[in-house]
Structure 1
């Protein structure tokens, strides 16, 4: 669960760090932590329920609704954060980069321990194009983020398709 939480927050934190944002509202940080904790607890509940049930369609619908509610809560938090002026936490650039480095080290360490490299790969294919496009080609922040998102989405989708095809070919036929 910690890896899932760090995975979700790593994209947000590292994106802010790349954009030079080192000030965070307490409302946003607290809301993110609360919504993420509720999301992970309810996701664990869904996993438990799935272990007791069978059938693909209701499962897809449950996870779709669950993910949609989470997305709406996060969007609501961002809207409320823009409307309410709450106290802010400002990190010095050196502290912000140190936290970013520690986050990356933690992700690499947990990936190594669990032998699950999808998160480090996703971070790499999401951020590497952004860094290259900004530093080499002087592209805008928005354009480089969109390209990074597209590259990451395509890469992860292809990886999942290849993995599922390999799993299907390895499974014994009936």
Structure 2
């Protein structure tokens, strides 16, 4: 591809996406993905640009490829798990969304976004109790609201069992 290295082509496509030209980035990433079919980083960036364009169904195989391959940085793996789980959810593939987001939350327990998206997917699968537990714990541990902080211990206690009235 024009004598440029894979890294140069990938960097250029990412730059195009960031600068608001996702369609051109998509064309370049599809070419790069075809040339490097097992490349996890290329697959992840290709999935991402499809998501940006609202092409969720087309993003899925690229996300899946990025997670089965090796070579993703920890941050990109985190993003791929969230992206795939969220995309499954958007497509109504709720069980796959829960499984993917649960894996992401287990691998990255400090990631509030993964926990939030997991709670949404759990809601979609009628697992409301667990969804509320996750969100209450997240609010209790991350809120800067002084009133939430004042009641943090109570919120954390009730998050353990929402049916407890004592």
TM-score (norm 1): 0.26
Query: TM-score under structure 2 normalisation?
Result: 0.27
Greater percentage in helix: 1
Q: Which has the higher contact order (CA 8 A, sep 6+)?
A: 1
